[in-house]
Amino acid sequence: MPRFAFSISATDGAARRGAIAMERGTIRTPAFMPVGTAATVKAMKPEGVRGSGADILLGNTYHLMLRPGAERVARLGGLHRFMGWERPILTDSGGYQVMSLGELTKKSEEGVRFKSHLDGSLHMLTPERSIEVQRLLGADIVMAFDECTPFPATPEQAESSMLRSMRWAKRSREAFDGGEEHAGRAALFGIQQGSMIEALRRRSSDALIEIGFDGYAVGGLAVGEGHEAMCGVLDFAAAMLPAERPRYLMGVGKPDDIVEAVRRGIDMFDCVLPTRSGRTGQAFTLDGPINIRNARFAEDRDPLEPGCPCPTCTTYERAYVHHLVRSGEILGAMLMTEHNLWFYQRLMQGLREAIGERRFAAHSAEFLTRYRSSLRRRP
């Protein structure tokens, strides 16, 4: 198996169907990556995540460097062995998390000095340290360290932030290439920044392409700008990135966000939404999300989503899951999360099939009409 090889097997408009081949397995695209923040996809065993159809997981550099510590994970054989997941893992750079700590951080050209949210201890995260942590974890896809531009931002703030991210991208590339054995089997992605401004996104893309990466991410979205603004940026941002490399939209998202992003040429996604929603009682269905805590489900004999092939829907009724969630039983969160992960992977498989058969426009229109119509009917 090659270190990293991306191939496109079909296109339909800007939408692409393809695959990323790596040593630990092939990632079918468009792909959704469940988030395993602290070396676990919450409420799921690894075999259950794989059973849902996931080809790759996301691990969080910030959380893992603080607990249990990247050096400890390395001593224990790396993140794959530590968490019992032998397929590819993408690790984020930790940049978004440290930037979100607000008053607990101090940014400089060197990096970000921050206080741990766990115990207040001081740490410094630089491009070099971020890459080192991801190497110690044994990530298959490593993300360059960047500054997540706040929203809203003035043009001056957006430009300054983007330029710093590009300088950090170059340092990340150099640190990654110095990783010898790990660099020989892993891949490095750069992150496009520039806020909502097309000219800045173009400058960022040009800088990243000059440095050279295995894949490219669109960063700085899903930060409060809303669906329409996000789609507006993707109308120009995705096409600025090399067509022969995978394009990753970070932190997205809702099912309709994903469909619209695939329409614009995005190949990879991650989001905590299916797992977080599962723990709070929200189940995703083709007819829109439902809140299983609602009293109307107390004696409902249907599965969470009629026709869904997941183990939860083929075994349990809404009434039982309603009881578990309302009672605060751990099994309730487990069943809801399992269903949601299956829903997201079914969504991605449907998109891949539609692109391969060149019926993406009809498929996406049918999905969005059905999914959104139920949302509009709700008070």
Q: Please identify every residue annotated as catalytic.
A: 92, 270
User: Which residues on neighbouring strands pair with residue 284, listed in sequence order?
Assistant: none
DSSP for residue 68? T
Between CA 61 and CA 63 the distance in angstroms is 6
Contact at 8 Å (CB) between 134 and 91?
Answer: yes
Confirm if 89 and 33 have CB atoms less than 8 A apart.
no
Instruction: Name the β-bridge partners of 122.
Output: 115
- Is the Cβ–Cβ distance between 145 and 192 less than 8 Å? no
**Tokens describing residue 228:** 């329409």
Exposure class string for 237-261: b at 16+ Cβ within 10 A, else e? bbebbeeebbbbbbbbbbbbbbbbb
3-state DSSP: the chain helix, strand, coil percent, rounded to 5? 45, 20, 40
Which helix (H) or strand (E) is 33 found in, with range? strand 31-36
The tokens of 208 are what? 């990243």
Bond from prior residue into 46 cis (ω within 30 degrees of 0): no
Q: Do you know the residue count of the chain? A: 379
Nearest to 195, CA basis, from 237, 243, 235, 144: 237
| Pick from 9, 10, 4, 16: nearest CA to 239 | 16
User: What's the distance, CA 125 to chain centroid?
Assistant: 21
What does the alpha-carbon distance between residue 51 and residue 45 come to, in Å, rounded to a whole number? 10
The SS3 of residue 367 is helix
